[in-house]
Amino acid sequence: MTPSGSGYTVLVVDDSEELRALVADSLRKLGHFSVVTARDGAEGLELFFQVHPDCVVIDVKMPGLDGYQLIRALRGDPASRATPLVILSAMVQEKDKLAGLLSGVDEYLLKPVGPLELVQTISRVLGRSEEERQQRLLSLLDDQPNKAEE
Amino acid sequence: MIEPAPAVTSGSEREIYRDYERRRRLQLARILLPIFALVQGAVFVVSVVFVFEVHYGSPIAQIFIFNTALVGVDALLHALGLRFVRQGRVGPATIFVILPIGLTVIVPLLVYIAFGQSGNSPIVAITLGEMVATLVLIVLSGVMATSRWVVLATTLLMNVYTVFILSNMLQLASTGVALRSQRLLLLSFPPLVQWAVAGILFAASGTYLATLRELGDVRVAYARAQQLDQLKDQFIAHVNHELRSPVMALQGHIELLLLAEQTLTPEERHTYLQRAKRAGDGLVALVTSVLAVRRIEQEAGALELSAVAVRDVLESAIQLLDPREANHVERELRVNLPEGLEVWAEPVRVRQILTNLLSNALKYSPPGTSVDVSAELVAAALPSGMKRWGREAAAPRPMVEISVRDYGLGIPPDQIPLLFNRFVRLPRDLASSVPGNGLGLYLCQAFAKAMGGSIRIESTGVEGEGTIFHLRLPAPPPTPHAPSTIKRLTPRLATARSGTTQRPNGQ
């Protein structure tokens, strides 16, 4: 059963046109989310403050303002500090994963990620309370680097 | 991000040898200095005892006290030399090993000869002692010097010194007279012994230096292997990264089609299939270029050369360009070709090279700038590596140079040579979103060389001045009435090909 994301808006920031389209369509078709997309960090930041999405999916490697810089910018602003963020990355090394989690994201997804997994992850992240999210972030960091998958 | 591997150049190879030699001498000085300080200290103690117990008050005692003091100073100099060893200064450290020994060996006797020719026995003892000490200097010159010819020079010098002090001893009133009848033996044996020692050192230091050089070669080979390893790691990390996005696009769209099949409109289904196909094409392109690298390294590939019109091949290359590489922005392509210009090459390979160069030009320059293509006939010398003499010493082969210029960031000149290596991308490109697998230019160069041509990059590294890629290929042979020309061509191409196979990274 696919979870329903109706009522939620997700911002997808990715420089690859194909992946942006895939992520957006997966979220729309399988999760019934509203989706807005941006091509790079700067555009993503601008869009965030226009649409105030409920969750942001961020690619790491982007020209200009990259994924981590965008995350820092979002985490640094009181208006966006509490918004769940999900990294979508092709960097496989442990240190990349650690860097992702340290930057304060809620989930670190490693490409390739299937549409269903993507929708489920975002639904899960959206369903967490603020307290749960804090707890989870701490436990994830405790488990590094042995167990970053879950 | 993975750091780019440093290049092992001939310059850094020389540096490795020099470094090896430096460390060897430093290590020798570190061990020899304390030993010599102790030995000189012992000589100093013996001299002091001698002065006080045996010859105190004798006429030559004053000179002997001077020499005793000199030995003491020399011992201290050796100890001081350790300071330079600690600082890693090889030159001063070497001087502090050799100089005090030289002073101890040479100065005392000269002082005696100058001031104390009174026919006393200490002179004889010192003279005989120092005969032995000259050997120390010869041995030192053998192990501390960078060239083994220094041993010969030192030995000659010691010969002169030895003969000089021995003939002086023969002048002494007491001992001299007694020894005079054995003059021939006395003057010839010590120099001969010195030459025997010199001979041993000359041979030993020769083999020693040869071993050193071999060890240096091993180190260079090791550094090269390490560099290659690093390049491979870099490539694997990169291909890994490059593979994940198209795999996700391919798999994701198919999964989406399966999961949401009922709700999708035919147009949407078509779009997803097309996107999946594009992702698949991207994957195939990546795999193909990785495989092409293997292939070109394993077999030179039987090339079918023919006259190819530059204009035609350029047009077909432009057809092959992926519009996405220019971000779908219309770009101006300025072409300046002489009518009827042809190259002697394989059309598919030339097209491949040109497509690659053009696509690079588009990828690495900003939208709105133009890309220029020009070509001209150049009377080039024979390609380097082919002998100028022998059967084919005829006129230099005319070449065609096709130049592709962009007005992008340019390439830092020190990074240009690296670009023709496999799997190498500029550090700034690794950090950017411009796709690439670091194989394109390597393949282009390999293809060009296989056809008897070459590729050269010209760039100042200044933004906006861009980069020019010069592709050189042979012009067609003067047909039709000279079939012999074609025959003559074949062995040359064979040479070029085998050259490529043996040194895939050579430029």
- Specify the 3-state DSSP secondary structure of A11: strand
Q: How many residues does chain A have?
A: 150
Chain A from 7 to 46: CB within 8 A of any B CB: 15-19, 21-22, 25-26, 29-30
Residues forming beta bridges with residue B402, ordered by sequence position: B375, B471
What residues of chain B lie within 8 A of the CB of A41, using their CB?
Answer: none
pLDDT digits 0-9 by tens, A68-112: 889 989 988 888 888 999 999 887 677 777 777 777 788 889 888
Measure in Å the smallest separation between the Cα of B215 and chain A Cα atoms: 36
**Minimum-distance CB partner of B260 among A30, A90, A92:** A30
Determine the number of helices (DSSP H) and then strands (DSSP E) in chain B. 13, 7
Per-residue pLDDT for chain B (507 aa), expressed as one digit of tens each? Answer: 333 444 444 556 667 677 877 888 899 999 999 999 999 999 899 888 887 776 666 666 677 788 888 899 999 999 999 999 999 898 899 999 999 999 888 887 777 777 765 555 556 677 778 888 899 999 998 888 877 788 899 999 999 999 988 888 787 777 677 778 888 888 899 999 999 999 998 888 778 778 877 877 787 788 778 877 877 777 777 777 778 888 999 999 999 999 988 888 999 999 999 999 988 888 887 787 777 766 665 555 567 788 999 999 898 888 877 666 555 567 888 888 888 899 988 888 888 899 889 988 888 888 888 899 999 888 755 444 444 444 444 456 789 999 999 988 888 887 787 787 766 666 666 555 565 666 788 888 888 888 888 999 988 888 888 899 999 999 888 765 444 333 333 333 333 333 333 333 333
- Interface check for A109 against chain B (CB to CB < 8 A): the answer is no
pTM summary value = 0.50
Best mutation target, B245, B251, B322, to test chain A (most A CBs within 10 A): B245
The DSSP 8-state label assigned to residue B375 in this structure reads: E
Check if the beta carbon of residue B67 is closer than 8 Å to that of residue B107.
yes
Closest alpha carbon within chain B to A27: B256
Across the interface, whether the CB atoms of B433 and A111 are under 8 A apart is answered no
- CB spacing of A26 vs B256 below 8 angstroms: yes
Query: What pLDDT is recorded for position B388?
Result: 42
Helix or strand or coil: residue B334?
Answer: strand
B433 → closest Cβ in A22, A61, A113: A61
**How many Å lie between the alpha carbon of B407 and the closest alpha carbon of chain A?**
19
CA pair distance B387, B398, nearest whole angstrom: 16
Q: Which two tokens stand for residue A85?
A: 């963020």
| Residue B434 CA from chain centroid, whole number | 32
For chain A, give the mean pLDDT: 83
pLDDT in the model for residue B493 = 34
Best mutation target, A29, A58, A94, to test chain B (most B CBs within 10 A): A29
Identify whether A53 is preceded by a cis peptide bond (ω within 30 of 0): no
Q: State which residues of chain A have pLDDT below 70.
A: 1-5, 92, 137, 140-150
Q: What's the burial of B343, exposed, middle or buried (CB within 10 Å: 0-12/13-18/19+)? A: buried
Q: State the smallest CA–CA distance between residue A10 and chain B in angstroms.
A: 18
What's the Cα-to-Cα distance from B7 to each of B226, B234, B435, rounded to whole Å?
Answer: 11, 14, 24
Helix, strand, or coil (residue B374): strand
Query: B296 with B448: CB under 8 angstroms?
Result: no
Mutation target among B248, B255, B278 for the A interface, most CBs of A within 10 A: B248
Residue B59: C-alpha distances to residues B63, B64, B121, B276 (Å): 9, 10, 12, 108
Contact at CB, B251 and A116, closer than 8 angstroms = no
Q: What angle do CA B214, B217, B221 make, to 5 degrees?
A: 145
In this complex, the residue of A22, A112, A116 whose CB is nearest that of residue B259 is A116
Of B241, B255, B275, which has the smallest distance from its Cβ to A21's Cβ?
A: B275
- How many Å apart are CA B256 and CA B262, to the nearest integer? 11
Q: How many A-B residue pairs are in contact by the CB < 8 A criterion?
A: 70
Cα B245 to its chain centre, rounded Å, is 38
Cis amide prior to B480 (ω within 30 degrees):
yes
A131 CA: distance to closest CA in chain B (Å): 33
Could you count the other beta carbons within 10 Å of the beta carbon of residue A66?
A: 19
The chain B residue lying nearest A115, using CA atoms, is: B252
